[in-house]
Amino acid sequence: MKTIIANIQAWFASRGGFSHVMAGLFLMAVGAFGAVPAFHTLCMNVYQMLPAWVEEILVSAAGIYAWYHASHSAAGTLAVAREINSQPNAPTSAQVDAASTK
């Protein structure tokens, strides 16, 4: 149990204060959308006023961002490294170091 709590604390510490504020505002908006009928109605009216082309542009932009967004997770990096190392022509550490742009 201590490991789980330590991991959660480390995750919170790794994010900036702005991220926590934005997440809190998002959760409040989602909660208000579900619990406050007047806010739900306001959101739906604004959504219905959007022309179809605006909705298509927003959805396309979100999809393109999600597709090309670079992941910096350790688990993702490890998964890619394992996939590369499983190839028969995988580079050695020395080859990788020699090719580094640092």
* pLDDT tens by residue, the chain, 102 residues: 778 888 888 877 877 778 888 889 999 999 999 999 999 999 999 999 999 999 999 999 999 988 887 667 777 777 777 888 888 888 877 777 777 665
CB 32 within 8 A of CB 39: yes
Q: Measuring CA to CA, how many Å separate 36 from each of 26, 39, 40, 75?
A: 15, 5, 6, 39
Q: Is 81 a member of any domain?
A: yes
d(CA 90, CA 84): 6
Q: Measuring CA to CA, how many Å separate 49 from each of 61, 74, 78, 85?
A: 19, 42, 45, 52
- Name the residue range of residue 83's domain: 52-102
Q: Is 30 a member of any domain?
A: no
Q: Is 70 a member of any domain?
A: yes
Q: Is 2 a member of any domain?
A: no
SS3 73: coil
The pLDDT value given to residue 102: 59
Q: Is 91 a member of any domain?
A: yes
Q: Is 38 a member of any domain?
A: no
Q: Is the pTM of this model over 0.75?
A: no
Domain count, the chain: 1
Q: Is 29 a member of any domain?
A: no
Q: Is 12 a member of any domain?
A: no
* Beta-sheet strands, E only, within 17-96: none
